[in-house]
Chains A and B, each alone.
Chain A
Amino acid sequence: MGNEERQMQFADVNDDVVRSLTETGRSYYIALATAIFVMLACFFFPWFYQLYYGIGAAGMNHPTVWGTYLASFVFWIGLSHSGTLLSCVLHITNSEWRKAMYRSAEAMTLFSLMVAATMVMVHVGRPWFIHWALPYPNQMELWPNFRSPLMFDVMAITTYVTGSLIFIYMGSIPDFAAVRDRTTGWRHHLYVLLSLGWRGTDTEWHRLGWAYTFLAVLIIPLAVSVHSIVSWDFAMSLVPGLHQTIFAPYFVVGAIYSGTAGIVTVMYVLRKYMNFEHFITKLHFDNLGKLLLVLSLIWTYINILELFTGWFSGTSTEYEQLKYKLFGFYAPLYWEMILFCAVAPLLLISKKFRTSFVPMLILSIAINIGMYTERFLIIGATLSRQYLPNAWRVYVPSLVEISILVGSLATFITLFLLFVKIFPSVSIYEVKETMETPKSKKGDTEWQAAH
């Protein structure tokens, strides 16, 4: 941590975090009201319109039967990948810089997963039959097919949502206790319930440390499996451009990449608007920037590999797919993706760039625009150009689909805005751990030497 944090006292951390929960300015309410309004107008209204008039309201049709809804689903699942996953990896590797930012990153995971789940609901057209995906006895003799990657998805995402929720909650229990002591009214009752009677005894800390580490160890392979499975939704088909073995690592790297960029965006907003300058410093942006640089290079490598394997396959359908991707109708989107996700991140080589807040914010947003484009191209562009030329068709999302995409972002922002007023968005106890522990006034250590 930087010098500014060293001057802070333990009590200042409690004060700052409790203040972020209890003191709410007008700008917060304006932001929340806007987010809710956009969510209702751009997400729920078009969705109800689509439910009323049928799935034809979306621009999907043969052969592009999967469109922006699933691109958004993959995007949101991807965005979820850095929060909990990164937090777990950094926890196990004892990275001190994780401590100020992991709570918000984990919340990002949770809310992206929720939004991703709603995108599936929107995509299926008749969401009132969603329970058919659950194995329960019924007179239709209808059971899910566990050989299908779609069912793998249901299992993996359910596990991931459960794991992420538990992970963020468990790490927050000591903070709920700290906030409990400082609040009144309904907030106090809420934190009494959430803190479970935590007192901070040596036994409780010991158990929490173990359980938290176990959870981290369990969640890392889980997160990797989730996006691998999402990739198999596509890779297990026989569509040229999708049927590729590289897809699982490609998706996992892409997910961590866009998730890390998402963390940079969220950190900027928290730092700027929640007054967390003391906690989220240049060091965090520097480290996240290094991580983004490495991920962008891996992502670029896999993209080159994808082109190479397509060319090396020697089949006409793969050639056609490659040609279409690089020079066809969607080519501008492809080159925009390359610019945002492979070329622009090279700026991160410069430390000055990594430690500049506004350029980092702009780059992180650009990366996520590029990553959304990637998902759109994987689904929309690939399905547009399959085997037979008479089945080729250009897919352009309808207004309903575009609106729902914008609305999904507003849903995420709404959830996040509610989160910052309920959860301590910076971990009180872990930030304290990074600070200098109070030293004995006597400087007395003979007892420890004697025993």
Chain B
Amino acid sequence: MASSALGLFHDPDSALKAAGDLMHAGFARPELLSPIPVHGADEVLGPKKSVIKRFTFFGGIFGALAGFSLAAGTAVLYLHPTGGRPIITIPPFLIITYEMTILFGILATVLGFLISARLPAIRERLYVPEVAVDKFAVTVVCDTQDNFGRAEAILCAAGAEEVRNLNEDGS
């Protein structure tokens, strides 16, 4: 069964150094757990691409279409002629379109965030409560005991205060 090595660090720089060393030693991409966003993680662990912007964009487009269809569709289906003005009146319907664009843009952004951040977590994942307070952790999957030993050595060399051997189910 695959286990993971988890090194706890006092500061983000040492944790980043450990993560970089592990990547260079041929380990799978390590994960960095921290109480605050760590600047410079992208340079060490490689740049991340986010799909959220696509969600926002297409959500907005969908909302615009839905908003205009709602207002114009209502006007066409339930005729209410007023003073010879057009049935589909663009300026007021653009306001409905605008609001619905933003509403669906927001909802799609949330959906994109949840999907891309893999939340909510259904299964138990590797976690130590210290990382929500003041510690920075680096975790890396080790398929053999030998690899665990190597990972432990790298983590300790980078300044880990403690190295734990955790199973995938968090035990």
CB 8 Å contact bits of B32-53 with A (1 = contact, 0 = none): 1111111011111100101011
Chain A minimum-CB-distance residue to B80: A145
Contacts A146-B92, A202-B34, A225-B99 given: A210-B50 contact, CB under 8 Å? yes
Residues on A with beta carbons closer than 8 Å to the beta carbon of B77: 143
- Contact across chains for B106 and A204 when beta carbons are under 8 A apart: no
A359 CB contacts on chain B under 8 angstroms: none
Q: Is the CB of A205 within 8 A of B95?
A: no
In the complex, A235 Cα to B95 Cα: how many Å? Answer: 16
Q: Roughly how many angstroms separate A219 CA and B36 CA in the complex, as a whole number?
A: 24
Chain A residues bordering chain B, tally (CB within 8 A): 68
B50 touches A181 (CB 8 A): no
Q: Given A202-B34, A432-B36, do A197 and B10 touch, yes or no (CB 8 Å)?
A: no
Cβ–Cβ contact A205 & B34, under 8 A: yes
Say if the beta carbon of A127 comes within 8 Å of chain B. no
Complex CA–CA separation, A205 to B31 (angstroms) = 12
Is the Cβ of A200 less than 8 Å from the Cβ of B70? no
Q: With a 10 A CB-CB cut-off, give which of A163, A218, A428 has the most chain B CB atoms.
A: A218
Distance in Å: Cβ of A393 to nearest Cβ of chain B:
29
Bound form: Cα–Cα A1–B121 in Å? 35
Contacts of A151 in B (CB 8 A): 96
Residue contact A438 to B10, C-beta cutoff 8 Å? yes
> B125 at interface (Cβ–Cβ under 8 A)?
yes
Contact at A218–B117, with CB atoms within 8 Å?
no
**Within A168-189, which residues are at the interface with B (CB < 8 Å)?**
170, 173-174, 177-178, 180-182
- Measured CA separation A276–B75 after assembly (Å): 54
Binding site secondary structure of chain A: helix
- Give chain A nearest CB distance to B75 CB in angstroms: 7
Contact A211 B36, beta carbon cutoff 8 Å: no
Q: Which of A170, A202, A225, A445 has the most CB of B within 10 A?
A: A202
Determine if B132 is an interface residue (Cβ-Cβ < 8 Å): yes
Kindly list chain B residues whose C-beta atoms are within 8 Å of the C-beta of A158: 103
**Residue B7, interface by CB 8 Å:** no
Contact for B38 among A143, A148, A205, A442, CB less than 8 A: A205
- Cross-interface CB contact of A152 among B16, B43, B99, cutoff 8 Å: B99
A440 close to B159 (CB less than 8 A): yes
Supposing A163-B103, A204-B117, A451-B20 touch, asked if A438 and B52 sit within 8 A by C-beta, the answer is no
| In the complex, A3 has a CB within 8 A of chain B | no
1/0 per residue, CB under 8 A from A, across B85-120: the answer is 000010011011011101101110110111011111
**B134 to A178, Cβ gap below 8 A?**
no
Contact of B99 among A159, A197, A208, A439 (CB under 8 A): A159
A215 within 8 A of B: yes
Give the total number of A-B pairs whose CB atoms are below 8 A apart.
205
Min Cβ gap B104→A in Å is 9
Q: Give chain A residues whose Cβ lies under 8 Å from the Cβ of B1.
A: none
Chain A residues with CB under 8 A of B105: 214, 218
Whether A218 pairs with B56 at a CB distance below 8 angstroms is: yes
CB proximity of A433 to chain B, nearest CB, Å: 5
Q: A146-B75, A214-B52 are in contact. Are A445 and B13 (CB under 8 A)?
A: yes
For A413-437 the 0/1 string (1 means CB < 8 A from B) is 0000000000000001100110001
Instruction: Return the chain B residue nearest A167 by Cβ.
Output: B106
Query: Given A155-B99, A166-B106, A441-B159: A447 and B134 within 8 A (CB)?
Result: no
Contact with A along B124-143 (1 / 0, CB 8 A): 01110101111000000000
Quick check: is B144 within 8 A (CB to CB) of the other chain? no
Residue of B nearest to A151 (CB): B96
Across-interface contacts of A11 in B (CB, < 8 A): 133-134
Closest beta carbon of chain B to A209's beta carbon, Å: 6
Residues of B within 8 A of A203 (CB): 31, 48, 117-118
Q: Chain A residues near B114: list those with CB within 8 A.
A: 196
- B103 pairs with A438, CB closer than 8 A: no
Residues of A within 8 A of B11 (CB): 437-441
Residues of A within 8 A of B89 (CB): 147
Q: How far is the CB of B58 from chain A (nearest CB, A)?
A: 13
Return chain B residues, CB-CB under 8 Å to A451.
20, 24, 44
Tell me, yes or no, whether B71 is within 8 Å of chain A by CB.
yes
Q: Which residues does chain B contribute within 8 Å of A448, judged by CB atoms? A: 13, 16-17, 20, 40, 43-44
**12 CB < 8 A contacts A-B:** A163-B106, A178-B35, A197-B119, A199-B126, A200-B35, A205-B34, A207-B52, A214-B56, A218-B109, A429-B36, A440-B10, A445-B13
Closest 9 CB pairs of A and B: A197-B121, A10-B134, A211-B113, A196-B120, A181-B129, A207-B117, A146-B71, A438-B11, A178-B132
Chain A residues engaging chain B, CB cutoff 8 angstroms = 9-11, 14, 135, 141, 143-148, 151-152, 155-156, 158-159, 162-163, 166, 170, 173-174, 177-178, 180-182, 196-211, 214-215, 218-219, 221-222, 225, 229, 428-429, 432-433, 437-442, 444-445, 447-448, 451
5 other contacts beyond A196-B121, A197-B125, with CB at 8 A cut-off? Answer: A11-B133, A135-B70, A177-B132, A429-B37, A444-B13
Binding site for A on B (CB under 8 A): 10-14, 16-17, 20-21, 24, 31-38, 40-45, 48, 50, 52-53, 56, 67, 70-71, 74-75, 77-78, 80, 82, 89, 92-93, 95-96, 98-100, 102-103, 105-107, 109-110, 112-114, 116-122, 125-127, 129, 131-134, 159
